[in-house]
């Protein structure tokens, strides 16, 4: 899954007004509601009622013109008539298919990875736990995310398929719904703040009836992130940073309002394109980047490169940057699963605290003297 994807404005949906209702043989439900439990994520809302909850995914993909609402209800609970038009899922679920590597860490953190039945492009999965399940044939290959194997999915019959889509052209998901499959979209990748992405573990907590565990795990990550942020704020130096590399004659690097650039800011460093308004990536000429970043202190995230020699073998002009000359180039691309999946793309959105600590260690090593880099590695 690619990082630095765009984020646009979120359309907030009205809260449903529900009335008390009781059917013979069913549990009673009332309109008693707990306010939205989501604090940082802009595209997710979760409202809890007696016996059920309403999950709203308001930003499933960039430029989405509408969101989706889902009703997660316990067994034998009658859902109010006002919610009957929305997808209803009995919880806790017992089986699942997910479609993005960023979903895998949430399942593992909650201890429910054994409920995973299928995944597209299983080679991209890096986690040893889930790779063991794949190797044991407990997780089926379901094609590619753009062309899911509907026959395999219908045969698997999971309780829920967690969908990932880049736009509203979702014919495969529509076909699956027509065949009785429950689809629920996940928009974690559209979030632009570090803690906003990580908070989507609560989405999976709601599906598995593990809300308290999801909340506790997120609070730990939140505390670790904020503690690291407080340490970074005490530093007196503020090194300059740039990112990216050349691809097909264009230099791609994060925009100033992107998820990746916020980490550099929080690590108390100056990202040289921090003032640009883009939430996705920028496409610039080599000359433009060299003019601004030639004397930058650090080069963080040089695309797919894993050695300095590999960089200059591809483009000898990389040697003109001071960060390259001084060996201050750090990449996450070298840390991969055994089938080639990059760990960063899978786990980083779920663990922003580790990204921030990595960057602090790189640029302010005196602040975290005993910390070892987790995602990043200094290129040799």
Question: What is the number of other CB atoms lying within 10 angstroms of the CB of residue 56?
Answer: 21
Tens-digit pLDDT profile for residues 353-372: 999 999 999 999 999 999 99
Name the residue among 271, 313, 308, 311 with its Cα closest to residue 292: 271
Check if 33-222 and 234-378 are the same fold.
Answer: yes
CATH superfamily of domain region 33-222: Nitrogenase molybdenum iron protein domain (3.40.50.1980)
Cα separations in angstroms, 236 against 205, 288, 363: 40, 29, 11
Domain boundaries, the chain: 33-222, 234-378
- Computed on alpha carbons and rounded to an integer, the radius of gyration of the chain in Å comes to 22
As a whole number of angstroms, the distance between CA 116 and CA 110 comes to 12
Enter the pTM of the model. 0.89
List the CATH code of the domain at 234-378: 3.40.50.1980
Give the pLDDT of the chain (380 residues) as one tens digit per residue. 433 333 333 332 222 223 233 333 333 344 556 778 899 999 999 999 999 999 999 999 988 989 999 999 999 999 999 999 999 999 999 999 999 999 999 999 999 999 999 999 999 999 999 999 999 999 999 998 778 999 999 999 999 999 988 888 888 999 999 999 999 999 999 999 999 999 999 999 999 999 999 999 999 999 999 999 999 999 999 999 999 999 999 999 999 999 999 999 999 999 999 999 999 999 999 999 999 999 999 999 999 999 999 999 999 999 999 999 999 999 999 999 999 999 999 999 999 999 999 999 999 999 999 999 999 999 99
Distance, C-alpha 161 to centroid of its chain: 17
In terms of C-beta density within 10 A (0-12 exposed, 13-18 middle, 19 or more buried), how is residue 71 classed?
buried
- To the nearest 10 degrees (0 to 180), the angle between helices 211-233 and 352-363 is 20
- Name residue 160's beta-bridge partners: 96
Is residue 51 within 8 A of residue 33, CB to CB? The reply is: no
Distance CA 135, CA 137 (A): 5
HSE at residue 331, side-chain half, CA atoms within 13 A, is 21
């Amino acid at each position: 899954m690619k990082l630095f994807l765009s984020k646009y404005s979120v359309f907030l949906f009205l809260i449903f007004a529900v009335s008390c209702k009781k059917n013979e043989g069913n549990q009673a439900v009332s309109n008693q509601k707990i306010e939205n439990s989501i604090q940082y994520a802009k595209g997710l809302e979760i409202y809890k009622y007696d016996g059920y909850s309403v999950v709203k995914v308001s930003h499933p993909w960039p430029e989405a013109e509408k969101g989706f609402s889902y009703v997660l209800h316990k067994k034998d609970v009658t859902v109010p008539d006002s919610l009957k038009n929305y997808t209803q899922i009995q919880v806790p679920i017992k089986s699942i298919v997910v479609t993005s590597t960023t979903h895998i860490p949430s399942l593992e953190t909650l201890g429910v990875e054994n409920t995973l039945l299928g995944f597209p492009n299983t080679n991209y999965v890096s986690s040893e736990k889930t790779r063991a399940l794949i190797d044991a044939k407990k997780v089926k290959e379901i094609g590619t995310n753009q062309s899911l194997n509907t026959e395999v999915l219908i045969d698997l019959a999971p309780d829920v398929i967690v969908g990932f889509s880049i736009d509203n052209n979702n014919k495969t998901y529509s076909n699956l719904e027509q065949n009785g499959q429950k689809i629920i979209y996940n928009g974690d990748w559209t979030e632009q703040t570090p803690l906003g992405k990580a908070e989507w573990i609560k989405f999976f907590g709601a599906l598995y009836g593990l809300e308290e565990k999801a909340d506790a795990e997120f609070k730990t990550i939140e505390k670790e992130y904020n503690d690291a942020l407080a340490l970074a704020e005490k530093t007196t130096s503020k090194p300059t940073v740039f990112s990216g590399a050349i691809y097909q004659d264009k230099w791609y690097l994060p925009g100033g309002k992107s998820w990746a650039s916020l980490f550099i800011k929080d690590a108390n460093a100056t990202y040289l394109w921090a003032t640009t308004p883009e939430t996705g990536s920028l496409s610039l000429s080599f000359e433009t980047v060299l003019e601004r970043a030639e004397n930058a202190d650090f080069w963080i995230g040089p695309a797919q490169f894993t050695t300095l020699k590999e960089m200059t073998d591809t483009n000898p002009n990389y040697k003109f940057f001071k960060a390259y000359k001084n060996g201050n180039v750090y990449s996450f691309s070298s840390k991969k699963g055994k089938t080639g999946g990059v760990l960063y793309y899978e786990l980083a959105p779920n663990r922003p605290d580790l990204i921030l600590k990595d960057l602090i260690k790189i640029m302010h090593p005196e602040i975290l003297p005993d910390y070892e880099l987790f995602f990043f590695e200094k290129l040799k």
